[in-house]
Amino acid sequence: MGMTVAEKILAKATGQAAVKAGDVLEPRVSVAMSHENAALVINQFNEVFKGTGLDARVWNPENIVVIFDHRVPAESSKTATNQKKIREFVAAQKIAKFHDVRGDQGGICHQILPENGYVRPGDVVVGTDSHTTSHGALGALAFGIGATEMAAVWTLGRVLNVEVPGTIKVEVSGEFPRGVGPKDLILHLIGTLTAEGANFKVIEFHGETIRRMSTSGRLVICNMTVEAGATSGIVPADAETERYLREEARVIDPLEPVVPDVDAVYERTLKIDVGKLAPQIACPHTVDNVKPVDAVAGTKIDQIVIGSCTNGRLDDLETAAAILKGRKVASGTRMLIFPASWRIYKDALKSGALATLVDAGAVIVNPGCGCCLGVHQGALGDQEVALSTTNRNFKGRMGNPNAEVYLCSPAVAAASALTGVISDPRKAV
C-alpha cells in the first residue's frame, strides 16, 4: 500500500518501512523551533531533569532554533525578563540558531525558518506555535506542539505524543483572476472544510495551480491549514522548492524531496478550480465563516492590517503599494503594516514599497507578531472593526473581546484602505 508524503516522512523519521494513520509514534525531529514561549519550555525542560542527577543539556543544539517575535521589542518588564532568561539559556546551551531583537537577523519565526534555509524537504519540523504548519510549503512535515512536548524534544530529540495523521488531498486547478490569490484559495478551503474539518489530518496540495505558485504563496496556504484543524499542510517539494532554497535561502547541500507514492491512500480528495474564485473574507468570529467579498462589501473598517506570518512578505507589501500608489488611506481609517522579517523590511525599503505606503498614510510597525495576537501595538477599541491579512479572527484576538476582525488578502486590505469600507480589489486595480 502506497504512502502519502506525511506517512513517508514519519516512516523515515522512525526507521520503519511503513506507518499508518492512527499509530502513535516518536519521530526524530530535524528542526525544533520556539519563540518567547521558550521561557516555559526551559522551565519544563529543567523539570524533566529534576532529581535525575543528570546535567540538563539539550539533545543537539544544532537542531534547535529560538526566535523572538511575539512581543518585540518587549512590551512589559515581564516579557523582557523572560527574554533575558531565554538569552542566557541559549548561550549556555550553545544554541547558535538564535534570532534576537535585531534588524540584521530578526523577524517572525515562520519567515525566519524558510529564509535562513533551516527547513528542508522531508524534515520533521516542530514548533511551539500553531502556525508551524507553514513549513509544509517546503515539503516538510511541520506541526505545532506545546511547551512541555518541546521540553521532551529538547531532552530526547523525539516528539513523544504524535499520532500519524490521515491525509486529505486537495487538487487545485485554474488561473487566479486578477485581484485573487493564495489567501483567497485557503480561506475558501477553510470555509469548505470548516474549522475542525481537518482536525488530526494533513492537507496535501497538488495540481497545476500549486505547481505554478511561488513559495511565498505556498507559505500562505500551508500557514492557514491549522485553521481547518490540520496537523500540517504539505506541498510536495518540486523545482520551485529547490529554486527558493538555492536562490533565496542560499542552501548548498543536497536536497531529498519526498513525493507521495502513486498508490498513496487519501481519506478524501477535494478539487478546487480557482478560475472563477472571488476574493474571500473570513467574518467574525471564526475563520471558517467565509464569504465572497460581495456579501460584506461596504462594511465600515476602523483599522486595516497588512502583515504577519501569513501575509507579510515582499509580494504582499508590493501588492498593497501598487494599489495605494499616489492615493490615500481613507480618513477615519488607520492602516498598520508589519513585515514578516527585517530582510523583507529592507527589501521593501529598497523597492520603494514602504515609502509608497507611508505616503498613503500607513504606519509601518517593526517585524514581529505585532497586533495579530493582541499583545501589543494596534489593539482595537470597543465596537471597532478591523480588516486584516492575518490568520485568526477569534473573539478577543486583537486584544479586545468587544471588537470584530475580518480576514482577507493583501489586495482586499489595500483596496479597502482607500475607501474605509470592505471593498473588492477587482474594481480598484
Partner 1 sequence: MAKVVFKVGDDVSTDTIYPGRFMATVLPSETPQFAFADYKEFNARVKAGDLPAGAVIVGGKNFGCGSSREQAASCLASLTVVARDFARIFLQNAINVGLRTVICPTIDAAEGDELELTATEVRNKTKGAAHPIVPLPKARQAIVDAGGLIPYARKLLLQERAR
Chain residues in the site for partner 1 (CB under 8 A): 22, 24, 36-37, 39-40, 43-44, 47-52, 54, 70-71, 76, 78-79, 82, 127-130, 132, 144-149, 151-152, 155-156, 160-163, 195-196, 199-200, 229, 231, 286, 373-375, 392, 394-397, 399, 401
Residue closer to partner 1 by CB (options 121, 368) is: 368
Residue closer to partner 1 by CB (options 39, 210) is: 39
Residue type, 347: D
Residue closer to partner 1 by CB (options 132, 333) is: 132
Residue closer to partner 1 by CB (options 200, 266) is: 200
Residue closer to partner 1 by CB (options 47, 208) is: 47
33-to-66, 187, 204, 263 alpha-carbon distances in Å: 6, 26, 22, 33
Q: How far is the CB of 387 from partner 1 (least distance, A)?
A: 18
Q: How far is the CB of 139 from partner 1 (least distance, A)?
A: 21
Q: How far is the CB of 130 from partner 1 (least distance, A)?
A: 4
Maximum CA pair distance of the chain? 68
Q: How far is the CB of 208 from partner 1 (least distance, A)?
A: 31
C-alpha cell at 422: 470592505
Residue closer to partner 1 by CB (options 253, 382) is: 382
Q: How far is the CB of 106 from partner 1 (least distance, A)?
A: 19
Q: How far is the CB of 375 from partner 1 (least distance, A)?
A: 5
Residue closer to partner 1 by CB (options 16, 43) is: 43
Residue closer to partner 1 by CB (options 156, 322) is: 156
Q: What is the CA radius of gyration of the chain?
A: 21
Q: How far is the CB of 287 from partner 1 (least distance, A)?
A: 9
Residue closer to partner 1 by CB (options 251, 281) is: 281
Q: Could you tell me the sign of the dihedral formed by the alpha carbons of 251, 225, 368, 89, in that order? A: negative
Secondary structure (H, E, C), the chain = CECCHHHHHHHHHCCCCCCCCCCEECCECCEEEECCCHHHHHHHHHHHHCCCCCCCCCCCHHHEEEECCCCCCCCCHHHHHHHHHHHHHHHHCCCCEEECCCCCCCECHHHHHHHCCCCCCCCEEEECCHHHHHHHHHCCEEEECCHHHHHHHHHHCECCCEECCEEEEEEEECCCCCCCCHHHHHHHHHHHHCCCCCCCEEEEEECHHHHHCCHHHHHHHHHHHHHHCCCEEECCCCHHHHHHHHHHCCCCCCCCCCCCCCCECCCEEEEEEHHHCCCEEECCCCCCCEEEHHHCCCCECCEEEEEHHHHCCHHHHHHHHHHHCCCCCCCCCEEEEECCEHHHHHHHHHHCHHHHHHHHCCEECCCCCHHHHCCCCCCCCCCCEEEECCCCCCCCCCCCCCCEEEECCHHHHHHHHHHCECCCHHHHC
Q: How far is the CB of 264 from partner 1 (least distance, A)?
A: 22
Q: How far is the CB of 189 from partner 1 (least distance, A)?
A: 16
What distance in Å separates the CA atoms of residue 196 and residue 429, rounded to the nearest whole number?
35
Q: How far is the CB of 230 from partner 1 (least distance, A)?
A: 9
Residue 363: phi, psi to the nearest 5?
-105, 130
Q: How far is the CB of 91 from partner 1 (least distance, A)?
A: 20
What distance in Å separates the CA atoms of residue 348 and residue 400, rounded to the nearest whole number?
31
Residue appearing with cell numbers 480576514: 407
Residue closer to partner 1 by CB (options 132, 167) is: 132
Residue closer to partner 1 by CB (options 126, 317) is: 126
